[in-house]
Chains A and B, each alone.
Chain A
């Protein structure tokens, strides 16, 4: 049966990797990354530093944005060719800082899906959250944003998946929706973990599968 496939109409993708733990932000500077051979020297030279502070660092490489506080490491990449390079950078950083205590990490895959027609754009909201439920009280219901939590997902060893679907109209991207898949891995105190590159890569691989599955299964269910 021919229906609209979300996964085949992804206009752009974004990756956010977030790690919660205890960090010393001021160590992980572009210069440090370059001396450890984790990025090119030219990447470090061309980095745009916004904040360099004991409690927070925030800078842009040409292909990623890094923001680190004492409790949170966040790297964002909006250029798909650099997703694996971003992942490798995280693996490289925490393989060197292997004593860093980690509480949780999350992979966020954000896909902007172009729905191509206005009808489909409005209809996706209706399929996700039927407007008939709202027609008694509201005259012109429109879905702006939806969040669904898969609390103990069977698609992974542990942790949850949070899917957020939202309209991108506010950003002048009409007839498109953003779908963020937050693949979250908490670690209990007992596990008290140090960064394990093996685990990280294993979770990364699975995370990509989860993100792809979410889109294709949602397409299947919505049948737009």
Chain B
């Protein structure tokens, strides 16, 4: 077994750990690969109270593994979801229509009409012809309460400089220019 694989394993350096019904906060600042300094303390089920900084990477890794072992269950999660990626195909005074690609089940696309009232104010500026958005419908468990939830969010990616994009594009395809008859 090797621990090199462990690097992108989802340990959390700041973790709220449920202990015997109480929650003790363990705070760590990861200074370098070898040191794990514990600011507060943790007790059961991890054994001794840890007040000394760890020196060995292996110890640090083992400790973090134990944290992950406890696998803190999220308080909000979806039990069943249907997701789509939509693209706006037409806009009118009251809303827009879109073609939606089924991200959950694949297969055929769908068509839907949306009112502007369904869209969060923060996203209204993003509505334009061709704009991409995610839609999801599902059953959510939120801190123990189960409910149905709809979410529509317009896609956000970095704002690129138009010239930069065009030049990148030309880099990608300029080699084709010699191939036109």
Contacts and interface: CB of A to CB of B under 8 A. Distances in A.
A and B touch in the complex (CB under 8 A): yes
Interface string A1-15: 000000000011110
Contact of B9 (A14, A162, A168): A162
Interface centre among A38, A79, A89, A96 (most CB of B within 10 A): A79
Interface in A56-91: 56, 58, 67, 69, 71-72, 74, 76, 78-82, 84-85, 88-89, 91
B13 to A, nearest CB: 6
Contacts of B159: 36-37
A12 to B, nearest CB: 4
B106 to A, nearest CB: 11
Contact of A56 (B30, B103, B160): B30
Interface residues of B, number: 44
B30 A74 contact: no
Nearest to A81: B136
B79 interface: yes
A39 B157 CA distance: 9
Interface string A45-64: 00000110101101000000
A127 B153 CA distance: 43
Nearest to A42: B122
Given A80-B83, A92-B158, A182-B9, A14 B74 contact: yes
B78 A108 contact: no
Given A37-B159, A184-B7, A79 B103 contact: no
A23 interface: no
B71 interface: yes
A184 B160 CA distance: 29
Interface in A139-173: 145, 147, 149, 160, 162, 166, 168, 170-173
10 contacts: A12-B79, A14-B74, A37-B158, A38-B156, A78-B74, A81-B78, A82-B151, A89-B156, A147-B1, A160-B5
Given A36-B159, A43-B122, A79-B140, 7 more contacts: A12-B74, A12-B78, A40-B123, A82-B151, A147-B1, A166-B69, A173-B73
Interface of B: 1-2, 5, 7-10, 12-14, 29-31, 33, 69-74, 76-79, 81, 83, 85, 103, 120, 122-123, 134, 136, 138, 140, 149, 151, 153, 155-160
- Closest 8 CB pairs between A and B? A106-B8, A81-B136, A78-B74, A16-B10, A40-B122, A95-B158, A18-B8, A12-B77
Interface of A: 11-14, 16, 18-20, 36-43, 50-51, 53, 55-56, 58, 67, 69, 71-72, 74, 76, 78-82, 84-85, 88-89, 91-93, 95-96, 103-106, 108, 110, 145, 147, 149, 160, 162, 166, 168, 170-173, 178, 180, 182, 184-186
